């Protein structure tokens, strides 16, 4: 029988989704599962966006321009202009979510066998795009006791090889919630200049910052030739199902490549883009309310986790995740056990073991990613369930 | 400055879209351009599909399942069951249009350096996916005087090398309109079995057949292990902007790969899938009307083209394209000249030169793809414009 490709064999299973069948089985047994494992915000999508779907009324749902609707490219550029960044609609190519944008970026700057450097833990799906494009993700560990902030220049530069073509960073970070300071972003820009690397900056969580304002890589001096920004409406507007993102660059050679990539898959979805245009009209008060709500959740969650003996969780500065250290032999086993063997009054929690967010999986063996996309009372109950579960878990360690 | 990747450098410009700027300039000069170049049907999208967008009313536009909404996977499977093909929802993975499905198929069965065999002319965007995945499209010429039907087994088998991992075919065909007979599909299946190749069957034009009913590769004996079908709602429901397609297989190893590919990009767009579910409820009378209309257009176009001295156009059996031979020195130059130098009473036509649909571009030097997605009176006027243009074109040949 014909074999499948080597690259297909390397495609990882999703660390976030692989526990799904166990959760389904738990639910089938009548157990309520509190989902701390997923990045699906529960806040309402802006009403104007929903109404844009409802107002769609064309005779023919036709192809749009390959690079995206002009109105959306303008809306995205204007959004950055308001942040003080000079950007033209022509710098923006609309994609199928941030996911396609990551794939475009990887494919544009690497050939099979090349490397992209990041810090770990990192967003697990980068590994999927790496497998598809034949790229190796190399990574420098970020330390939990430094709240996962940027390792030193020396550590990062030691990991750069002749095959390294780019760095990819995500700030605010999935899975750690870390927001890089302006100085950290500038350090990254300088390292990329020094070693002639592209800087792929995943900024989909920009709106979710609870202290320092995130610095866009587009504001760096090297932005005009080596920065590629990945962005999305998914998290910003709680519209993950719209699957509208973009890849942004100022370098005309990169823009030409992205244009041809856009041509090759014809165009993004038309109605979702119309809805996204409406989303960019969302008033600032929407974001103010969202940030206030997530700040309350973060504070409650971090306080609760750190009150459990043996658990430590750094205070994240952004996004809606954190990576916590757990007093367990193996977080993968613990996460599974929570669904298969544990319940307290017919309730349990689902967490994402951190091993899947590491190149060196063993570094995440005692860690889990917790998303705080639930309201405070449910988060507090989840923390309580974790506390009870850790008391009962046979693989608990001191 | 950091270079872009070799694969990015190989990405082709779209042969269909590269003339766009000349068309825009012609329109700016007040010239009406009749578009024979694009595959955007002008027939109405089923009203139920539009109304599904209008009825969307969730609080949170959330991620859906990675492999697609269960209701859509069922609707697609049921569609095939009605065609007499045994198919389960689990065999169907929903994708961003047929485009993503082609990319998944290429990536699943090839590694960089491998080959996929087809006949030429072929759908130009296969070259874009080939560039992205590092694959070489090899091709055996199909003859215009055989209406672009399948070359002989001997010709096809002579083109198979140790690097060939799959064949890709498209029936009804873009760009030729050819519909392979049942016997031709069976020959393809046998060749793939004999040489242990996958058979990627692009069937997005299945509904557009004006004689022989297209044979799905899913009905072949080898379907259970080596067939991958690419399908889409784009053409079937005149809903190109919905960008909902699917990749179908029965081989569990392939299905596992497609599942992991689906995970890596999270999920398809939610509302577009809801609309697609509604589309699959479209009554047969819709398709009967569409087929009757396209049959009228095809007949008028083929008769008109063949009445021009030096022009020959085979009668296509399906889709809404044909490839015609033109009495010109270079169809690329002619297509450009139509937009830059020609007009008759402030009107001209835009055609897609066929060179971009060939691996061996010179084979298409005197050919163009004509789409008949315009009503009969406009098609007849377009034929008349072509006749006048050919009389005036300085590069006309005998």
Q: DSSP letter string over A158-179?
A: HT--TTEEEEEEESS-TTT---
Look at A243 and B112 and tell me if their CB atoms are within 8 Å.
Answer: no
Chain A nearest-CA residue for B235: A62
Q: Which residues of B touch A279 (CB under 8 A)?
A: none
Write out chain A's pLDDT in tens, 398 residues: 788 999 999 998 776 677 888 999 999 999 999 999 987 888 999 999 999 999 999 999 999 999 999 999 999 999 999 999 999 999 999 999 999 999 999 999 999 999 999 999 999 999 999 999 999 999 999 999 999 999 999 999 999 999 999 999 999 999 999 999 999 999 999 999 999 999 999 999 999 999 989 999 999 999 999 999 999 999 999 999 999 999 999 999 999 999 999 999 999 999 999 999 999 999 999 999 999 999 999 999 999 999 999 999 999 999 999 999 999 999 999 999 999 999 999 999 999 999 989 999 899 999 999 999 999 999 999 999 999 999 999 999 87
Q: Which residues of B touch A56 (CB under 8 A)?
A: 50, 53-54
Q: How crowded is the C-beta side of B171, counted as CA atoms within 13 Å?
A: 31
Instruction: Give the minimum alpha-carbon distance from A398 to chain B in angstroms, rounded to a whole number.
Output: 36
Chain A nearest-CA residue for B16: A263
pLDDT at A212: 83
Residue corresponding to tokens 């699959």: B280
What gap in Å lies between CA A68 and CA A85, rounded to an integer?
21
Mean pLDDT of all residues belonging to chain A = 95
Look at B66 and A268 and tell me if their CB atoms are within 8 Å.
Answer: no
What gap in Å lies between CA A39 and CA B242, rounded to an integer?
25
Closest partner CB to A254 (pick from B4, B40, B264)? B4
Q: How crowded is the C-beta side of B345, counted as CA atoms within 13 Å?
A: 6
B61 within 8 A of A238, measured Cβ to Cβ: yes
Residue corresponding to tokens 């006048």: B388
Instruction: Walk me through the domains of chain B, giving residue ranges and CATH numbers.
Output: 6-44+285-392 (3.90.1150.10), 47-279 (3.40.640.10)
- Tell me how crowded residue A391 is: count the other CB atoms within 10 A of its CB: 10
Look at A56 and B58 and tell me if their CB atoms are within 8 Å.
Answer: no
Q: How crowded is the C-beta side of A368, counted as CA atoms within 13 Å?
A: 28
Q: DSSP 3-state assignment of B228?
A: strand
CA dihedral A169, A175, A179, A185 (to 10 degrees): -10
- The region, left, alpha or beta by phi > 0 then psi within -120 to 50, assigned to residue B134 is left
pLDDT at B12: 84
What gap in Å lies between CA A361 and CA A182, rounded to an integer?
30
Chain B nearest-CA residue for A128: B264
Closest partner CB to A165 (pick from B2, B239, B257)? B2
Cα end-to-end distance, chain B, whole Å: 50
- Tell me how crowded residue A104 is: count the other CB atoms within 10 A of its CB: 28
Q: What backbone phi and psi angles, to 5 degrees, belong to A325? A: -90, 135
A58: DSSP letter: -
| Cis geometry, peptide bond prior to residue A121 (ω within 30 degrees of 0) | yes
What gap in Å lies between CA B25 and CA B21, rounded to an integer?
6
Q: At what angle do helices A70-82 and A270-279 cross, to 10 degrees?
A: 30
pLDDT at A306: 98
pLDDT at A33: 97
Q: Which residues of A touch B265 (CB under 8 A)?
A: 96-97, 99-100, 103, 125, 128
B349 within 8 A of B34, measured Cβ to Cβ: yes
A212: DSSP letter: S
Strand partners, B202: B170, B230
Look at B111 and A5 and tell me if their CB atoms are within 8 Å.
Answer: yes
What gap in Å lies between CA A374 and CA A35, rounded to an integer?
8
Chain B nearest-CA residue for A252: B4
Look at B60 and A53 and tell me if their CB atoms are within 8 Å.
Answer: no
Tokens at B188, concatenated: 């393809």
pLDDT at B16: 67
Closest partner CB to B45 (pick from A14, A61, A197)? A61
Radius of gyration of chain A (CA): 21
Mutate to test the interface with B, among A53, A69, A247 (most CBs of B within 10 A): A53
* Count of CB pairs separated by less than 8 Å, A with B: 258
Look at B5 and A53 and tell me if their CB atoms are within 8 Å.
Answer: no
Q: How crowded is the C-beta side of A204, counted as CA atoms within 13 Å?
A: 28
What gap in Å lies between CA B357 and CA A241, rounded to an integer?
35
Q: How crowded is the C-beta side of A212, counted as CA atoms within 13 Å?
A: 17
ipTM exceeds 0.90, yes or no? yes
Look at B61 and A43 and tell me if their CB atoms are within 8 Å.
Answer: no
CB burial readout B21-53, b (16+ within 10 A) else e: ebbeebeeeebebbbbbbbbbebbbbebbbebb
Length of chain A: 398
pLDDT, one tens digit per residue, over A274-332 is 999 999 999 999 999 999 999 999 999 999 999 999 999 999 999 999 999 999 999 99
B327 within 8 A of B390, measured Cβ to Cβ: yes
pLDDT at A15: 65
What gap in Å lies between CA B230 and CA A361, rounded to an integer?
36
Q: What is the DSSP string of B167-205?
A: EEEESS-TTT-----HHHHHHHHHHHHHTT-EEEEE-TT
Closest partner CB to A50 (pick from B41, B49, B56)? B56
Tokens at A270, concatenated: 């038309």
- The region, left, alpha or beta by phi > 0 then psi within -120 to 50, assigned to residue A213 is beta
Q: Quick one: how many helices (H) and strands (E) in chain A?
A: 14, 12
Look at A125 and B165 and tell me if their CB atoms are within 8 Å.
Answer: no
Tokens at B30, concatenated: 């007040």
pLDDT at B20: 87
Q: Which residues of A touch B103 (CB under 8 A)?
A: 265
Look at B107 and A267 and tell me if their CB atoms are within 8 Å.
Answer: no
A373 within 8 A of B60, measured Cβ to Cβ: no
pTM for the predicted model, two decimal places: 0.95
Q: How crowded is the C-beta side of B335, counted as CA atoms within 13 Å?
A: 30
The residues of chain B scoring below 50 in pLDDT are none
Chain B nearest-CA residue for A56: B54
Chain A nearest-CA residue for B100: A265
């Amino acid at each position: 029988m014909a074999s499948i490709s080597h690259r297909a064999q390397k495609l990882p299973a999703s660390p976030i989704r692989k526990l799904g069948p166990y959760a389904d089985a738990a639910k089938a047994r009548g157990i309520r599962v509190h989902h701390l494992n997923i990045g699906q915000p529960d806040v309402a999508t802006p009403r104007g966006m929903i109404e844009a779907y409802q107002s769609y009324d064309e005779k023919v749902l036709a192809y749009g321009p390959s690079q995206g609707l002009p109105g959306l490219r303008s809306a995205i550029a204007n959004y950055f202009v308001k942040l003080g960044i000079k950007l033209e609609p022509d710098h923006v190519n609309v994609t199928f979510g941030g996911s396609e944008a990551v794939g475009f970026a990887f494919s544009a700057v690497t050939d099979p066998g090349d490397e992209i450097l990041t810090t770990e833990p990192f967003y697990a799906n980068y590994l999927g795009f790496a497998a598809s494009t034949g790229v190796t993700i190399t990574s420098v560990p970020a330390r939990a006791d430094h709240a996962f902030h940027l390792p030193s220049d020396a550590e990062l530069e030691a990991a750069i090889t002749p095959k390294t073509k780019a760095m990819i960073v995500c700030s605010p970070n999935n899975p750690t919630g870390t927001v890089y300071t302006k100085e950290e972003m500038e350090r990254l820009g300088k390292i990329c200049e020094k070693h002639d690397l592209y800087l792929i900056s995943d900024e989909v969580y920009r709106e979710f910052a609870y202290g320092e304002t995130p610095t866009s890589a587009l504001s760096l001096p090297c932005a005009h030739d080596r920065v590629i920004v990945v962005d999305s409406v998914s998290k910003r507007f709680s519209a993950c199902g719209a699957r509208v993102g973009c890849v942004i660059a100022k370098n005309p050679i990169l823009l030409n490549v992205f244009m041809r990539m856009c041509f090759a898959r014809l165009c993004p979805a038309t109605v979702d883009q119309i809805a996204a245009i409406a989303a960019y009209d969302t008033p600032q008060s929407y974001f103010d309310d969202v940030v206030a709500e997530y700040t309350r959740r973060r504070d409650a969650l971090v306080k609760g986790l750190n009150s459990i003996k043996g658990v430590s969780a750094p205070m994240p500065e952004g996004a809606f995740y954190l990576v916590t250290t757990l007093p367990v032999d193996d977080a993968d086993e613990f996460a599974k056990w929570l669904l298969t063997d544990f319940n307290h009054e017919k309730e349990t929690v689902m967490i994402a073991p951190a091993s899947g967010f590491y190149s060196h999986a063993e570094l995440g063996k005692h860690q889990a990613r917790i998303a705080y996309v639930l309201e405070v009372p449910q988060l507090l109950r989840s923390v309580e369930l974790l506390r009870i579960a850790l008391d009962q878990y046979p693989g608990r360690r001191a």
